[in-house]
């Protein structure tokens, strides 16, 4: 499924995220999971987990990317067995370990041997002081950098995840310098959703958000790594607008291949190319939109994704209300449904973080490229 193939997302997601456990030694200020220090007895068993993996593989001839997250997925003692099973059925398996002492070089090497394809690690400050303040555990920065070094040494693709909030915004440029100094494949920026522990954090303003998106576009023109945003789909609008501005100025537009490298496929949003399974098996449109639509213990993941009324609604841009419903970019953006829900309890309400103001009448639709 290629970039822009929005229609395909009615049949299969681009990515499946599974929260293998909610246990985590960190106490991050933004945690959507409100993670706990111990494992929940209701977690999927090893056999249930393998059945979930088989359901993920059943989605399509070209299967979704399968991301193991938490909490801290390293806390699952059967993690290598699950990675081996997922890789064995043909899934591309990514891992998002927490920056703790548990992610030892030996454990990561074991997971690579089992078939792990990629490591994504969160880095939310360019210094020990800034990162550890965000993660609320002293030493997390050092552990995170050890994971980075181990991932590089193992030859695994490295993704850096960073949160955008008022707390982290002052360090964005310095963070970009740090990420640029590493052999990173992708820099993924997560724009805060005020859910879980994140309700106590302050979001950036709409103006600040727009400036960040413009900065990321400028960075993307020269960076050796890809850039993508999570819960800021209006980056796709900024890319569309800036690409055409460059063309109007007679500047060279990035090649199609490079353009695709720099961002996720257009249209991947909550429930639309994206599905999340929590630690007890609940199926949700995303981890930031924790509305259970079924449970993998009793229902088919494929059927819920394809046919549940909430997933169908989230894949209907013409059902958006307010300015998102009038916006020409609703098919390539659509706004963050998680942020709309967190702010209004309506999944189709306007994204309060978007600065773009469409006309009062519905604008002609900009189709995915």
pLDDT digits (tens, 9 = 90+) for 145-181: 999 999 999 999 999 999 999 999 999 999 999 999 9
Distance CA 268, CA 14 (A): 7
- 284 burial class (0-12, 13-18, 19+ CB within 10 angstroms)? buried
pLDDT digits (tens, 9 = 90+) for 110-132: 999 999 999 999 999 999 999 99
pLDDT given at position 255: 47
**What proportions of the chain, in percent to the nearest 5, are helix, strand and coil?**
40, 15, 45
Class of domain 11-308: alpha beta
Instruction: Give 66's strand partners.
Output: 16, 93
Q: What is the dihedral of CA 166, 171, 172, 177, to 10 degrees?
A: -170
Residue 86 has pLDDT above 70, yes or no: yes
Distance CA 230, CA 190 (A): 5
pLDDT given at position 94: 98
Percent of the chain with pLDDT over 90: 76
Average confidence score pLDDT of the chain: 90
pLDDT given at position 6: 41
**Beta carbons of 100 and 143 less than 8 angstroms apart:** yes
pLDDT given at position 193: 92
Segment holding 8, helix H or strand E:
none
pLDDT given at position 261: 44
The two structure tokens encoding residue 76: 């699952």
* Separation in Å, CA 197 to CA 125, 242, 263, 328: 18, 35, 28, 34
pLDDT given at position 214: 98
Helix, coil or strand: residue 85 = helix
Q: What is the mean pLDDT of residues 74-99?
A: 97
185 against 250, higher pLDDT: 185
Q: What is the mean pLDDT of residues 202-226?
A: 96
pLDDT given at position 253: 55
Which residues are CB-neighbours of 334 under 8 A, at least 6 positions away? 233, 267, 269, 272, 317, 320, 324
pLDDT given at position 28: 55
pLDDT given at position 7: 46
pLDDT digits (tens, 9 = 90+) for 312-368: 999 999 999 999 999 999 999 999 999 999 999 999 999 999 999 998 777 777 866
pLDDT digits (tens, 9 = 90+) for 3-21: 333 447 999 999 999 999 9
∠ CA 266-269-270 to the nearest 5 degrees? 165
Q: What is the dihedral of CA 57, 186, 72, 21, to 10 degrees?
A: -30
* Separation in Å, CA 242 to CA 127, 214, 238, 247: 32, 8, 6, 9
pLDDT given at position 35: 52
The two structure tokens encoding residue 166: 């008022």
61 against 158, higher pLDDT: 158
| Beta strands, E only, the chain | 15-19, 65-69, 92-95, 118-122, 158-164, 186-191, 226-230, 274-277, 283-284
- 67 CB-side CA count, 13 A: 22
**Beta carbons of 276 and 32 less than 8 angstroms apart:** no
pLDDT given at position 124: 94
pLDDT given at position 194: 81
pLDDT digits (tens, 9 = 90+) for 234-277: 999 999 999 998 888 776 655 444 444 444 456 689 999 999 99
Q: What is the mean pLDDT of residues 221-234?
A: 95
Segment holding 48, helix H or strand E:
helix 46-57
């Amino acid at each position: 499924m290629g970039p822009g193939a929005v229609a395909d997302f009615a049949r299969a997601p681009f990515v499946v995220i599974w929260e293998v456990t909610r246990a985590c030694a960190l106490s991050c200020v933004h945690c959507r999971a409100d993670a706990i220090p111990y494992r929940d007895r209701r977690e999927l068993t090893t056999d249930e987990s393998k059945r979930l993996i088989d359901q993920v593989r059943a989605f399509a001839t070209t299967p979704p990317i399968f991301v193991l997250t938490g909490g801290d997925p390293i806390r699952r003692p059967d993690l290598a067995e699950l990675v081996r099973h997922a890789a064995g059925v043909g899934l591309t398996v990514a891992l998002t370990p927490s920056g703790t002492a548990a992610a030892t070089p030996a454990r990561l090497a074991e997971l690579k041997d089992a078939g792990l394809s990629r490591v994504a690690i969160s880095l939310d400050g360019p210094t020990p002081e800034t990162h550890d303040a965000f993660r609320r555990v002293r030493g997390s920065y050092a552990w995170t950098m050890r994971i980075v070094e181990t991932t590089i040494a193992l030859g695994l693709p490295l993704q850096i995840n960073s949160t955008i909030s008022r707390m982290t915004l002052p360090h964005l440029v310095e963070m970009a310098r740090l990420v640029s100094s590493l052999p990173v494949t992708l820099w993924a920026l997560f724009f805060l959703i005020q859910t879980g522990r994140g309700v106590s954090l302050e979001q950036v303003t709409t103006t600040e958000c727009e400036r960040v998106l413009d900065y990321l576009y400028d960075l993307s023109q020269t960076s050796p790594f890809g850039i993508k945003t999570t819960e800021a789909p209006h980056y796709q609008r900024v890319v569309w607008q800036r690409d055409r501005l460059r063309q109007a100025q007679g500047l060279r537009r990035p090649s199609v291949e490079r353009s695709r490298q720099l961002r996720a496929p257009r249209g991947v949003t909550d429930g639309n190319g994206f599905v999340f399974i929590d630690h007890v098996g609940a199926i949700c449109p995303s981890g930031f939109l924790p509305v259970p639509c079924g449970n993998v213990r009793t229902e088919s993941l494929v059927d819920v994704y394809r046919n549940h009324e909430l997933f169908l609604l989230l894949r209907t841009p013409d059902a958006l209300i307010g300015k998102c419903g009038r916006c020409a970019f609703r098919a390539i953006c659509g706004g963050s449904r998680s942020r709309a829900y967190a702010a209004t309890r309506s999944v189709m309400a306007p994204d309060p973080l978007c600065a773009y103001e469409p006309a009062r009448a519905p604008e002609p639709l900009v189709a995915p490229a």
